[in-house]
Amino acid sequence: MENPILGRHAVCKFKPAAVTETAVDQLVAAFEAAPCGMHQVEDMAGVVVTDPALRETIEAASNNACYGAPLLFAIATKNDSSFGDRDASAAAENIMVQAAALNLGSVYVMSGALALNDHPEILSQLGIDQGYSLSVIVAVGQAAEPAAVPDRTHRYKLIRR
């Protein structure tokens, strides 16, 4: 993909095929390269979920919010952090852009993250420490259907002075 920032778009239908270990390593590197507020690196933690049973538990608890994607990159942040959700969003974008560079589809899933926060037993299964909550799950996998990137020019109000 020529420019993965421009090529990334939300994918909500995935093939079941697993993401390769090499690709997982590159997604992890993208997460680790993300910026964080005031260098408070302990405010954010990531969990890479590929285990089918755990993914099924997550989908069941979140009304299939992650669209059956074979890889879920869950990002948790410290509850009292001023930076948490911002850090998590910056990291999520890194992961999504890296996914696009690998010709993988992805989507930022906030609804599923919030739904799982009502299930402390699942947070515990994920290994998320007490005092942390999920901020976002990035669902990643091969897109089930090829889709052209929509024209997003002028989508947001932009002021140039």
Ligand X SMILES: Cc1cc2nc3c(=O)[nH]c(=O)nc-3n(C[C@H](O)[C@H](O)[C@H](O)COP(=O)(O)O)c2cc1C
Residue 63 binds to ligand X (criterion: CB under 6 A): no
Q: Which of 61, 110, 119, 133 binds ligand X (CB under 6 A)?
A: 110
Question: Which amino acid makes up residue 160?
Answer: R
Q: Which residues pair with 49 in a beta bridge?
A: 72
Residue 9 binds to ligand X (criterion: CB under 6 A): yes
With H, G, I as helix, E, B as strand and everything else as coil, classify residue 21.
helix
Question: In this structure, are residues 71 and 50 in contact, taking their beta carbons and an 8 Å threshold?
Answer: yes
Q: Can you read off the two tokens belonging to residue 94?
A: 């890194």
Please, which residue, 10 or 28, has the CB nearer to ligand X? 10
Find the angle CA(19)-CA(30)-CA(28) to the nearest 5 degrees: 50
Residue 95 binds to ligand X (criterion: CB under 6 A): no
CB of 126 to ligand X, least distance (A): 18
CB of 120 to ligand X, least distance (A): 20
- Name the site residues for ligand X (rule: CB under 6 A): 9-10, 12, 107-111, 152
